[in-house]
Amino acid sequence: MYKRILAASDGSECAARAVGQAARLAQLCGSQLLVLTVVPQNLFAGTALSMPVVTDEVLREVRDAYRKILEEAVAVAAGEGVAAQGKLAEGSVAATICQTAEEEGCDLIVVGSRGHGQAYNLLIGSVSSRVSQLAKVPVLINR
């Protein structure tokens, strides 16, 4: 059915459930699982942090925090009995998820239905909705 599944995680509880679902599906299908965490390219845009205050040290700490999110997501998959490959990327979140799926030969993308909350979704838009619009492969949106 599916040979390679990409599960995206932003560290939210909803994303953890999505990774768990992707791991169970990978196990059922005998698929490989790639867990992706994206550091948003516009993380500091429009905030006081977009000023020169954002030092290399701050960026390093942010990347380390996202690396920890990735490690926790890979551990969720391991808890389901699946050895997942982890990948950290930077960019526009939805576009990077879709681009990575294409580059890595994934034939299914699994995302959580929400990560940041309703207020964020109203202002910025839902990543899962955007992924479903951009993806060239099926997208499973887990609640």
Question: Chain-wide mean pLDDT for the chain?
Answer: 89
Per-residue confidence (pLDDT) for residue 115, from 0 to 100: 55
Could you give the dihedral angle defined by the CA atoms of residues 89, 95, 98 and 101, in that order, rounded to the nearest 10 degrees? -20
pLDDT in tens, 49-103: 555 567 889 889 999 999 999 999 999 999 999 999 999 999 999 999 999 999 9
Identify the burial level of 140 via C-beta atoms within 10 angstroms of its C-beta, where 0-12 means exposed, 13-18 middle and 19 or more buried.
middle
The DSSP letter of residue 49 is: G
Is a pLDDT exceeding 50 seen at residue 18? Answer: yes
Task: Name which residue leads in pLDDT, 27 or 121.
Answer: 27
pLDDT in tens, 32-50: 999 999 999 877 665 555 5
In order of their start, the domains of the chain are: 4-142 (3.40.50.620)
Per-residue confidence (pLDDT) for residue 47, from 0 to 100: 55
In DSSP terms, 76 is beta-bridged to: none
The DSSP letter of residue 80 is: T
* Residue 136's pLDDT band (cuts 50, 70, 90): very high
Pairing, β 4-8 against β 85-91: unpaired
Per-residue confidence (pLDDT) for residue 69, from 0 to 100: 97
